[in-house]
Structure 1
Amino acid sequence: MKLPTNFYKPLAIGAPAPFRELPVALERMIHFFPGHNEKVRAKVGEMIPQADVILGNLEDAIPADAKEAARRGFIETAKAHDFGQTGLWTRINPLNSPWMLDDITEIVAAVGNKVDVIMLPKVEGAWDIHYLDQLLAQLEARHSIQKPLLIHAILETAQGVKNVEEIASASPRMHGMSLGPADLAASRRMKTTRVGGGHPGYGVLEDPRADGGKRAYAQQDLWHYTFAKMVDACVSNDIRPFYGPFGDIQDSEACEQQFRNAFLMGCVGAWSLHPGQIAIAKKVFSPDPAEVLFAKKILAAMPDGTGVAMIDGKMQDDATWKQAKVMVDLAKKVAARDPDFAKAYEL
């Protein structure tokens, strides 16, 4: 067990010191692009101003014979663009794959000073984070990387769900977690092929009616328990929870509802698998202007966060002040990136 006094010490001589607090960043959506697809890569420049995070995907959806091309393509894309306020991430292959080691060593050597976050698939325990943590420190030292690379874990195995709290607290490199429903379904042997969202066969049936009439049925969310558990683990360790993917690209209405559920439960963003989902994520993960304006009233009425105030006929106290501060702080991040929202928020 690492002593608390050593938790924030670099794991290699010459590596940058770990962050004590995560850098402030707006991350309403993580927009994926396949590293091996030249046609899609050519559009990354257009996507940078639109997306909060651009992620080069090297893992799932990349054929085995295109893994090296995806890695090269990501490196070329990283070198070719100035990402400005947009985060640059990559999803590497899992630790048990034959491509993972080259993913890390080549990317850190070539563009380590441009990459913000390494997304690690199929994390099963703190030991996976510890391994990548040490390896990144060694590579940072070797290549004179100026800031620590962060780790974002994907929760997509039953064992990972079991160990989610230990994963969240495994390293100061931990940026956050995303729910990976497709692989998690396979790991659990669940009877679904859906990627995120509810399932028509998973629901609650109304009690029998006295008149013998048809009973109401409500579809439920297969992922609610796991999702809530992940959010608690992240928030209690001051790292960021994300919804992950919504696979039905055509069903924008259901996508928006799933994203909204995630936002209300505490998530800061979700994955975007298609440009159309970027606008949905912006809409959902940006606070509602009316709620922001009301939150600003609370903060103005209770500048030090103590006491009680009546605003528009509703009682406000220190608990609602904290809720209001979360809302306004997020609104300020959105306003700094989006002029239309800045106007709506009166910021």
Structure 2
Amino acid sequence: MKKNRKTMLFIPGNNPALFKDVISYQVDSVIFDLEDAIAIEEKDAARELTRNMISFLDYHRFNIETMVRINAFDTPFYQRDLEAMVTNEKLDAIRLPKVESKLEVLRVIKDIENIEAKYNKPSKIVIFCAIESAKGVLNALEIASSSSRVVGIALGGVDYMLNLQATKTINRHELFFARQMILHAARSVDIDAIDCIYDNVSDLEGLEKEAILVKEMGFNGKSAIHPDQLPILNRIFQPSDKEIQEALKILTLYKKYRSQNQGVFAIDGKMIDKPVIKYAENILQKANITNPSIED
């Protein structure tokens, strides 16, 4: 079953207490940050701590995806970050910051493959690309489609606004174009689209409004920077009981009518065809519920 990423929580890679606390949170993915959250003089220590804690703590037991945001490839920390993480068998994904082109992604993948060959350790590590500039937004499709290792793209809203020289608005109009570009690029190649953080951790009402907006747009989930944000995001991006029951009803009847070679049918006067069936399947996938229309 495809991994659900409703919530992706950033934690600094230099805080061992938070590494342990994560297992008590309801979070789909945790992003250990070696980039923005870490001062230059602490980069090496944070890298070592992150590597060791991922190896020591069994996040997979709690169905938590492990991801590390490494430093950008044009920094002196990139190669050491990549080598330390690619060789960690318990790491699931690498988040690349400030991606602007397909060539950048391919360079990182080549470096990953070289590390795998060096240590004779083929890995299943996948890549999440953060798009944080005007150039990156305009190249969203080529980034999203650059490799089968790329399983998602995410908007980095703060850096994007700085690059755009935009003003933050109440309704976040300045992010609308970027969100649409990222969402369309992700959907065109069937990967995840994750929205940016909501940086005012005390404004849970504002977080809820923004999360509802991007959920309605079609985003899979939203990044978080504080555990208090997680219950809201989980509730909003998780299908409702009503949606689940409707999906189960549609797919159960679909199995029945399919056995009768009937491709289109009606429920309560509403025609059920392939797009509706696909939507119902997506609802159950997001809810981690087995599709009843799948043959035994």
Alignment equivalent of 2:144, drawn from 160, 168, 171:
168
Structure 2 CA distance for aligned equivalents of residues 314 and 253 of structure 1: 35
- Alpha-carbon offset, residue 142 of structure 1: 2.1
The CA RMSD over aligned residues, in Å, is: 1.9
Shift in CA distance, 323/98, structure 1 to aligned 2, threshold 3 Å:
same
- Alpha-carbon offset, residue 178 of structure 1: 0.6
- Alpha-carbon offset, residue 312 of structure 1: 3.0
Identity within the alignment, %: 29
Normalising by structure 2, what TM-score?
0.89
Structure 2 CA distance for aligned equivalents of residues 64 and 77 of structure 1: 20
* Structure with the higher helix share, 1 or 2: 2
1:177 maps to 2:129: no
Structure 1 CA distance for aligned equivalents of residues 59 and 172 of structure 2: 39
1:141 maps to 2:117: yes
SS in 2 for 1:223: helix
Structure 1 CA distance for aligned equivalents of residues 134 and 232 of structure 2: 29
Which one-letter code corresponds to 2:183 in the other structure?
A: V
SS in 1 for 2:186: helix
Alignment equivalent of 1:187, drawn from 163, 168, 189:
163
Q: Which residue pairs with 1:129 in the alignment?
A: 105
Deviation digits for residues 57-92 of structure 1 (CA, Å, limit 9, x no counterpart): 011122222222221121121121112221110000
1:321 maps to 2:277: yes
Structure 2 CA distance for aligned equivalents of residues 223 and 289 of structure 1: 31
Shift in CA distance, 38/224, structure 1 to aligned 2, threshold 3 Å:
same
Query: Which residues in structure 2 correspond to 1:173-322 (within 5 Å)?
Result: 173-192=149-168, 199-200=169-170, 219=171, 221-303=173-255, 304=258, 307-322=263-278
Deviation digits for residues 82-131 of structure 1 (CA, Å, limit 9, x no counterpart): 1222111000011111211111112223x1x1111100000010011010
Shift in CA distance, 92/162, structure 1 to aligned 2, threshold 3 Å:
same
Q: Which residue pairs with 1:343 in the alignment?
A: none
SS in 2 for 1:160: helix
Q: Confirm or deny: 8 A CA contact 1:306 1:317 kept in the other structure.
A: no
Q: Confirm or deny: 8 A CA contact 1:256 1:281 kept in the other structure.
A: yes
Alignment equivalent of 1:102, drawn from 55, 80, 90:
80
SS in 1 for 2:223: strand
1:76 maps to 2:52: yes
SS in 2 for 1:222: helix
Shift in CA distance, 37/228, structure 1 to aligned 2, threshold 3 Å:
same
Q: Which residue pairs with 1:24 in the alignment?
A: 2
Which one-letter code corresponds to 1:290 in the other structure?
A: K
- Alpha-carbon offset, residue 45 of structure 1: 4.1
Matched positions, count? 284
Q: Which residue pairs with 1:115 in the alignment?
A: 91
SS in 2 for 1:154: strand
- Alpha-carbon offset, residue 262 of structure 1: 2.1
Q: Confirm or deny: 8 A CA contact 2:66 2:92 kept in the other structure.
A: yes
1:151 maps to 2:127: yes
Q: Confirm or deny: 8 A CA contact 2:86 2:123 kept in the other structure.
A: no
Max radius of gyration: which structure? 1
SS in 2 for 1:294: helix
Q: Confirm or deny: 8 A CA contact 2:94 2:127 kept in the other structure.
A: yes
Structure 1 CA distance for aligned equivalents of residues 102 and 77 of structure 2: 21
Q: Confirm or deny: 8 A CA contact 2:167 2:174 kept in the other structure.
A: no
Shift in CA distance, 306/163, structure 1 to aligned 2, threshold 3 Å:
farther
Structure 1 CA distance for aligned equivalents of residues 133 and 38 of structure 2: 20
Give 5+ residue unaligned stretches, structure 2: 291-296
Structure 2 CA distance for aligned equivalents of residues 129 and 76 of structure 1: 26
SS in 2 for 1:175: strand
- Alpha-carbon offset, residue 25 of structure 1: 1.4
Bigger shift: residues 127-136 or 298-307: 298-307
